[in-house]
A and B are shown apart, each in its own frame.
Chain A
């Protein structure tokens, strides 16, 4: 049921939000990776594998 080609990346600073989001998306059969911050995500070197990015921070620029 797991679609390994499809990895959903989740970036959120709140741990419980990350856990809930991962659980929900996994229940749809997608692989999920979570990151605390955008820096973490960018430093992970997994940008090329990313099929979908869920960025839940609301930052004022």
Chain B
């Protein structure tokens, strides 16, 4: 080893390199300075590289940098050797260093070529700048997006706050509505329960689903018993068909409401009169099921009405009898006429038959007259009886012209006695009316008697009673009785229809008010008018076909 190292540095027999340069000082110094500068420069580079590597930890190809550093260091050393060999011919050492340099350089070259594709793959500065710009743009975008997101977020939060407030409002509103509804429900329920009239709810199966206390009391069934019953079952037998039809109509929405007076049969068998009012059935799909019904017990009212009707009928009859009492002389005469004729004919017959040569032909005629006069007297009596008898008012087809004629024949004597002439214009095409014949005659009789009375004091003009019948509308007739009497004076014609109003000294003042109530009960109208130039006219209408209820 020692010999090797000694060999390396031994000058042996080699000539220093300066000799080749002929120790020419200029040339020598040129070499020395140039090689020294190169060596200094070459030595400085690896340090710079090491510094660079130490500072740039992220640097790629650190190995190659290290190799390059070593390679340049070796190169620098060869130049140092160049200076050294000028004076010391350590060519072995120089060669060894060169060899070492060659090795490192070849490794470095290989490494450089090996790393070339990877180095090329490294982005260039322009690319990096581009990437940077891209990145900056992306960052900008992201910031914008984030700003937008923040805005959206803020808006969302605002909306959530607004909606929350709205919802709170709604909840409060709903709570108020619920409270109102609860109060309403309570109110209605207390009305339902405390009501003096019956209230019931019928479902689509025609069963009672609810019935209040008043209804249960009215009908005598408990709520449980009613839940197995329906409107038809508790209805009086004769009214069941109508009730069934009513329910059909209500459930099929053919009719929205019903107001009827009908009868129920209570649990104890008693029959009661009720007024049933049903409201509109809820629309299909509505949450309200069933038919609400209000039931009012009108049994007492019906009884009172019946009693009132009876009293009214009695009053009419009394008024009729009273009028006939005024007419008694006239009526007696009307019966007396045929009776006188019968007596005269009878005596004549006796004489004719008692003669030596009986005139049988004349006697036969006399007997014929007796028969027809007897019939006439009988007919008059029948009419009077009909007017006087206590009869239940009825509705029959009435020939008004015939009824008028009978009244005029009954009053004929009275008219004559009062020196009143009659003028009748009865329309032969008058349709019949559905009415109570006696009551219609009572009205005509009242009007005729009234006319006669009104003309009682008339001295300066003819006393004429006009009786007219006519068709007015397609379905009505009118009868007018007019006189040439004192008229109404300063009184309103309407005034005279008041009960107990009278211009007569001996009158009750009931005739006209009774007449009006009769006509109205028949669905007609009775009114008075002043007649030109003097007197009064009373007219009434009656519907030609069906009359109204009594």
Same complex: yes
Binding site for B on A (CB under 8 A): 13-14, 16-17, 19-21, 23-24, 26-28, 57-60
**Contacts A21-B341, A23-B366 given; 18 further ones with Cβ under 8 A?**
A14-B337, A16-B337, A16-B369, A16-B376, A17-B341, A19-B341, A20-B341, A20-B343, A20-B348, A20-B366, A23-B344, A23-B369, A24-B344, A24-B351, A27-B348, A27-B352, A58-B413, A59-B419
22 A/B residue pairs, CB under 8 Å, sorted by A = A13-B416, A14-B341, A16-B337, A16-B369, A16-B376, A17-B344, A19-B345, A20-B341, A20-B342, A20-B343, A20-B344, A20-B366, A21-B341, A21-B344, A23-B348, A23-B366, A23-B369, A24-B348, A24-B351, A27-B352, A57-B416, A60-B418
Alpha-carbon distance between A20 and B339 when the two chains are bound, in angstroms: 11
Task: Assess whether B379 is interfacial by the CB under 8 Å rule.
Answer: no
How many angstroms from the CA of A15 to the CA of B421 in the assembled complex? 19
Complex interface: chain A residues within 8 A of B535 (CB): none
Cβ–Cβ contact B419 & A20, under 8 A: no
Chain B residues within an 8 Å CB radius of A14:
337, 341
How distant is B298 from chain A, measured CB to nearest CB, in Å? 54
Residue pair B417, A20 in contact (C-beta under 8 Å): no
Q: Could you say which residues of chain B place their CB within 8 Å of the CB of A28? A: 351
Q: Which of B365-387 contact A (CB under 8 A)?
A: 365-366, 369, 372-373, 376
Cβ-defined contact, A27 with B351, below 8 A: yes
Is B341 touching A16 in the complex (CB atoms < 8 A)?
A: yes
B217 CB to nearest chain A CB (Å): 68
Is B417's CB under 8 angstroms from A60's CB?
Answer: yes
Instruction: Output the nearest chain A residue to B365 by Cβ-Cβ distance.
Output: A23
Q: In the complex, what residue of chain A is closest to B347 when comparing beta carbons?
A: A24
Query: Does B241 count as interface, using CB distance less than 8 angstroms?
Result: no
Contacts of A20 in B (CB 8 A): 340-345, 348, 366, 369, 373
Does B338 sit at the interface, judged by CB under 8 A? Answer: yes
Write out, one digit per residue, whether chain B residues 22-39 have a CB within 8 A of any chain A CB (1) or not (0). Answer: 000000000000000000
Name the residue on A nearest B417 (C-beta).
Answer: A60
Question: Which of A14, A17, A26, A27 gathers the greatest number of chain B CB atoms within 10 Å?
Answer: A27
Query: Using an 8 Å CB-CB cutoff, how does the interface string of B398-430 with A read, 1 for contact, 0 for none?
Result: 000000000000000100111100000000000
Find chain A residues with CB under 8 A from B352 CB: 27
CB neighbours of B373 from chain A (8 A): 16, 20
Q: Determine if B245 is an interface residue (Cβ-Cβ < 8 Å).
A: no
The answer to whether B369 touches A19 (Cβ under 8 A) is yes
A12 to chain B, nearest CB (A): 9
Q: How far is the CA of A24 from the CA of B347 in the complex (A)?
A: 7
Q: B413 — nearest CB in chain A belongs to which residue?
A: A58
Question: Which residues from chain B contact A59 at a C-beta distance below 8 Å?
Answer: 416-417, 419
B362 interface residue (CB < 8 Å to A): yes
User: Judging by beta carbons under 8 Å apart, are B419 and A60 in contact?
Assistant: yes
**CA–CA, A50 to B469, complex, Å?**
44
Chain B residue numbers with a CB within 8 Å of A16 are: 337-338, 341, 369, 372-373, 376
Residues in A with CB closer than 8 Å to B265 are none
B333 on interface, CB distance cutoff 8 Å: yes
